Structure 1
Amino acid sequence: MTAFEGDFYGFHAELTDREAESVAEIRQFFETEVRPIATDYWNRAEFPHQLVPGIAALGLFGPEWEETRRFASSAVYQGWCTLEMARVDASVCGFTAVQSGLAMGSIGVGGSAAQRAEWLPRMASGEVIGAFGLTEPLSGSDTARGLQTSATRQGDTWVLNGAKRWIGNGTIADVVIVWARDTADGQVKGFIVPTTTPGFSATKIEGKLSFRLIQNADIVLDEVVVADELRLPNIRSFSDTATVLRLTRAGVGWLAVGNAIGAYEAALAYTRERRQFGAPIGGHQLVQDLLVKCLANITASLAMCVQVSRMLDAGIQRDEHSALAKAFVSSRARETVAWAREAMGGNGIVLDYGVAKPFADAEAIYSFEGTREMNTLIVGRAITGVAAFV
């Protein structure tokens, strides 16, 4: 597989031949099918549903689960898939991450064998679109203690009441994994909730300046009744929910790197062609300084993501490892897209030039899957032995 210019140290070389072949297929699809339409859909804040079959055919939904993977692969490969998607469009990558990592991941981690057999293949094919309903209007970083959505057992059913906010895929999903606190024991449990269930409603959040293709929703659960067979039996407390987030948080690091690489490569191409004072601006010292700072951030961030994924493969990754990666990489990505925009001058704020979209999308990446501050406290607790959470 030919390396792209953002992979300055050639990290792609450690992929197996089969993994490299699959990554090349993903790159080809995103370059030919996604890139030509992404800016238009981002500008209109609409989701391109026609892409779903192609994404599913590439095996991007659930590559880690035995029921849905095309071939056995490493966490590094799965991270590289995320990077390749985000390099072209972070929003489409985010949609895929919600479907595969959060929704399917919840069933993969918390579901019974029967639930996995029923839902994972249907979601892997794109027949069923999923969402992940954890964040609430008044509960984000403090979800572990502040989650208010309730679940009350009534015979063979559960009654769910509450509200969720910022739920990616929320208005286009067929099922939402709803996290609710059991009124009997106070523990957080997970439920597979079809969006056609009476009492369930989802309203699109309008006016976003970031991740505009993703259909984020405000969700209301008003006496929503679900059968006990839709409860995830292996989710018994918030610590089980955290297991899902631990797996996906590392993926957000890869997403951030891919988004930064997309901005860097657009700026690099621009500076080779744009002429000022009789020469390409890429030959100016200050422009080269901006580009090299971008590349240094990307290279350091990619190295961190690769190592965290190696640790995941080895079974030694802990919360603090993925938290440090997410905090560091999303911060460096924010710097990188700003420098890339700066290198392009005024054209950097125009969508057609390829940097404005990743520049805006970096803001969402910086906040979701744990803010920098919350991830910093996770790492701080690990290295000092003292929790500083309020």
Structure 2
Amino acid sequence: MAGNFTMPHELDTTEVDMNGLCVLHLLRTRLGFMFSMSELAVELFKENPGAFIKDIRSGRYKRFHVTDEDVMLRLAQLQIPPESITVPGATLLPSDTVEALLRDRRKAELVEVVRLALLKVVSADAAKLLAQGLFEECLPVAIDAINKGKVLYYPEYKLQLVPVYLLGAQANLGLGRAVQAEDMLGIAAWLLIEDKSDEDKIAIRAEITRIFGVLYYLEKKYDMALKAFGEHIYYTSVQFGVRDLRNSIGMYNLFTVFQAQGEKYKSKRCSNVVVEWWLDALKEVVLGIPYKRLTPWETPQYPGREPEMENFKTQMERMYFKEVTDMLQEISVFRSSSEGEGASVAEVCLVLGLAFTHSRMYVLAREHLEHAADLCGSEDQETLVLINSCLKLIPKPAIHVPMPLQKSR
């Protein structure tokens, strides 16, 4: 079966190590992920591409012939040999064709390698779409990852299936499909319980409890949401430490639930923790002002030991920064409505200014820093010093001087 199509302008590739025998390249196309027939023939089967393609053309294997210049250039960059000197174009093979060829040519042990590579790429795509809030696009990709994962891991390695089910659950939550989300969460929790391996499960438990908290919040089961978010903070603290920035997400989630319950004092306390933690972290990363880590652990009063905390820069790299700025902006709105425009709002604007500076979103950074300066007044010298220090880091906008028009002769 053959088909012709126009390839996209950009052609992303992923290297697939075939158990040390060779490295193949998985190519991303509009019709799915493809392998180069020529590379497969030469690198894995040690055959001439011209001879190898005769078997492909027998009609038993699906293939696609492309002649797009961008595709040919990308294959040349990867140093993949051409199939023919006289016939233009290249033959691309989908993963199911590659799997069939591996079985037919007595290399069935490599089928799992191909499947694992595809699962990693598809899971990464689903996670990226989820982070961007593209839930409708994410859901079919997540379901594809679940199906690929079940073929690979069930029933021997149940724990490996939990992350893909959590992707599907979050996509369903984003679409407001609470029943489907709860079903996927239930399966993920069951797989976790059924797994008898010695692998560390704290991070997965933290993620499951967080998503259950979101589900209960959307269903207005606020007491259950508080319990789930509290467990999320506990598991995150056990693994990374109480002051780890990932726990600021948990504190923000508590803030939203307390708001929904009308518990203004409790929601304010939780939001204060979020702002304080991010101010300390961004002062260190953006302005170079070190955070003085004073913890009571390993003292007679607190004999326990907290996990060694990663530096703030590393913690930030593990987080989706838009989620952080959205969270801080929501707290700014809360403070403005409950306390009015004043020092507390200025503090959040300062943190947002530092965050946008760190993200190199300088227009937004300057806007929030200048608003913070207007609100805090001249008496708050400490905040003004921080604002001015950050403003000095923001590049001045380029001044465009229009060229004078030349008189026509």
Q: More relative contact order in 1 or in 2 (CA 8 Å, sep 6+)? A: 1
TM-score by length of 2: 0.22
TM-score by length of 1: 0.23
Structure (1 or 2) with the larger CA radius of gyration = 2
Normalized per residue, the structure richer in strand is 1
Normalized per residue, the structure richer in helix is 2
